[in-house]
Structure 1
């Protein structure tokens, strides 16, 4: 890892016309990232909500409700297993054929998988085939999600004006929060139905509705252009053939740092799945918890860009670390409030985490993680490293359910899972390079190109 001190982010002087053009491209990329994130995580967290409330009864019938819930959460985790493979495949494509086309492909894959989940027969209708098909479609969702955020973040960061590289990529995460809001709102009418209608057809409607978001996001994303920094490399035949191997050769430390920092995502995954199921099990109404999610994530849509803008001024590291440590503390208050059934405190603590502490770290990583990698391996590096923590996050609801079991007053193990994950993220952040003031062309370590001379190869190996 380079130990040189970043120079000022002041760019080569641009004409007013060039600056205006760059700003337009950044806004367009941010909009596409927002809509893509909204679709991807509407679909992804729609499944998490259904896994918490529906799928255990329809696809994994059992006389023991805890066993059924464990089986349902296991399918939730299956997608997280698929995500690293999606990161490898689509990361390679993103660094070889471009960000835009790869992002369109991941978008369509997610939308189609989600729609088909809404058409699945249940266990009562086709037996073991039903959960098998559910797992297959969840795997396809995981493949898509494995590269969506990395692609949108990389493209938007590369298009952003100097001094605002944190702000514009943060709309990727605001889109994710919006997707969670939409998914929660879509399930509110379902939660109001009588159980017979909810289990027979009501749960399917939100999955079918994903087609509407897909159509809008597809149109916007198709209109994108490739970032100039990537186009320049492509035009000069300056891309690497195997981004995965080149990334591990030239950026092993950055990979480990981002992998560790990605454990900050455990907080949100735990709250959206285990937190919902746990709250319902202790008597908090389903509709109430869905509204808790709506309020927190709706506020986060606005606060994440603000925290990202702050990181453009004071640096990525202090804002990220403050947010992760804050979430590690607040999660204890969150589960305590659920265990006591105190609804006002549940709303307050959830919102303070989702739109406060978690938004501080979550709104920054779409800029910081890509900034740690060279443009030639950026998509691959971010996609794969990010999935390490997210893979672990996917199974934390299963672990929390197993540890808490039937004793609903025994919530401390769940909180400690989040706190421990936060500690891992802090360690990664403390060792990572501060990049908010580093010029775009100097981000990451040098990456060898086959045409490079011996001096460049020596520089790459010794840096």
Structure 2
């Protein structure tokens, strides 16, 4: 369903649609769990264990730099797996990305530290992070399409929201596991406790794999195959015919990607290092925020069907602008309850937009190159904006001699750019759909 169209009357979900939605949710939850535990470990552990020869602040920056490596690799994963997803199908591609992510995460859990193998340790850490990035770069787009393309008519965005639920669900799971090991004393936590969340990923991947193997191929992809309309070189066709959609999609995805890393990574580092809030306490705060997001997103997706997706997304982003200053002021009080309140309010506004983002982007691209198109837009945004968020925010905090206001300005700027690109992409997609319906070439 296009972002500016009124939804069709909902129809009952078929067993295939339910299986596809469940498989997309579970698989994406595991993928994001793997990605989030790395972000949490970047804030709490990696600077000390893999970059011990620099100051604590520099160690955090270096740790966040390896965190960014995963984002640098995500467009490559989007291109590679988008190609095979558009050429061969969604299901096999998603099985591969799941195994790749789980394997890389498990290996991080057994990786020697700098004290054991020297400079090879951070190099291997960065390489495994790159593999994670390649895997998640191919996972998100395929999961969105598996859910939305099998959805009942008029409910594509609602079913795509199940993929977006993987982000808070993965965050909840990652935080619970780190809370379990975070109760250890510092010596035990730094020596072996931090490894357990990574090793636990191996078991989760087996569960997700069993569910994902039971899902049939996307109905819409099967139709494209039957019509002989499969793209030969999807990435070339996307660049040639839909480059404006890609650029606007990058801008429209900015806060959808960076918001989680403001809270789960930068804020966690800022509050535990500069503000000296207890590590376990902040993990509980972030756990509560993730629960709020998980509960609100389905309601937000349903509400957007009533008021219009584009209007709902833009209003959610602008509400987040108004809440930005109160959020950081409440966190700065160093009182956990107030910090939770500030982050939760901003999360309610921002996650409403995030819940609708997947279906909104999927509707913008033609079906024959949709996997490559949404993967390229979303993952390029991850590289350019999402992965740099914790590092940029930490650098601004350091530049401002501990003042949070440069970070607040950065946060508001990203929100405004995102809102503008969402509105522009909705208008452009409306013109594209109108042109295609009249037999005109795809606009560039």
Give TM-score, length-normalised by structure 2: 0.93
1:181, distance to aligned residue in structure 2 (A): 0.5
SS at match of 1:352: helix
Whether contact under 8 Å (2:25, 2:163) holds in the other structure is: yes
Superposition map of 1:202-217 within 5 A? 202-217=193-208
Alignment match, 1:420: 413
Q: 1:299 to 1:94 in 2, by over 3 A?
A: same
- Alignment partner, residue 56 of structure 1: 47
Task: Name whichever of 56-65 and 119-128 sits farther off.
Answer: 56-65
C-alpha contact (below 8 Å) 1:52/1:73 kept by paired residues: yes
Aligned runs of 1:371-382 on 2, under 5 Å? 371-382=363-374
CA 462–335 in structure 1, closer or farther in 2 if over 3 Å, else same: closer
Q: 1:78 aligns with which of 65, 69, 89?
A: 69
Distance in 2, matches of 1:367 and 1:5, equals 8
- Preserved CA contact (<8 Å) 2:3 2:363: no
Match of 2:270 among 273, 278, 287: 278
Shift of 1:299: 2.1
**CA displacement at 1:436 relative to structure 2:** 11
| 158-167 or 398-407, larger mean C-alpha shift | 398-407
CA positional deviation for 1:387: 1.6
CA contact (8 A) 1:317 1:434 kept: no
SS of 1:405 mapped into structure 2? helix
- Does residue 460 of the first structure (1) align with residue 429 of the second (2)? no
Contact kept in structure 2, 1:374 and 1:446, CA below 8 Å: no
Answering whether residue 248 of structure 2 is matched by residue 267 of structure 1, we say no
- The CA distance in 2 between the partners of 1:339 and 1:296, in whole Å, is 17
Give the gaps of 5 or more residues in structure 2.
none
Query: 2-side partners of 1:7 and 1:131: how far apart?
Result: 49
Matched, 1:106 2:106: no
Return closer, same or farther for 1:445/1:73 CA change in 2, 3 Å cut-off. Answer: farther
Which string of whole-angstrom CA distances, capped at 9 and with x for unpartnered residues, describes residues 389-410 of structure 1? 2221111211111121186640
Counterpart in 2 of 1:130? 121
Q: Describe the shift of the 1:196–1:162 C-alpha distance in structure 2 as closer, same or farther (beyond 3 A).
A: same
In the alignment, what sits opposite 1:398?
391
Distance in 1 (CA, whole Å) between partners of 2:4 and 2:189 is 56
Number of equivalent positions: 440
- Report the equivalent of 2:232: 241
| TM-fit CA distance, 1:63 | 4.3
In structure 2, the CA distance between the partners of 1:5 and 1:425, relative to structure 1 (3 Å rule), is closer
- Write the deviation string for residues 183-237 of structure 1: whole angstroms up to 9, x where unpaired: 0111112222111111110000111001121111111111111121110111232
Change (3 A) 1:445 1:384: farther
1:160 is aligned to 2:151 = yes
Give the Cα separation in 2 of the matches to 1:287 and 1:318: 38
Structure 1-normalised TM-score?
0.90
- How far the C-alpha of 1:309 sits from its partner, in A, is 1.4
CA distance in 1, matches of 2:167, 2:53: 33
Query: How has the CA–CA distance of structure 1 residues 5 and 346 changed in structure 2, closer, same or farther, with 3 Å as cutoff?
Result: closer
Which one of the candidate residues 315, 324, 328 is aligned to 1:335? 328
Tell me the distance in 2 between the aligned counterparts of 1:307 and 1:437: 23
Which residue is equivalent to 1:430?
A: 423
Residue in 2 aligned with 1:169? 160
Distance 1:7 1:86, change over 3 A: closer
* Cα deviation, residue 248, structure 1: 2.0
Matched, 1:369 2:361: yes
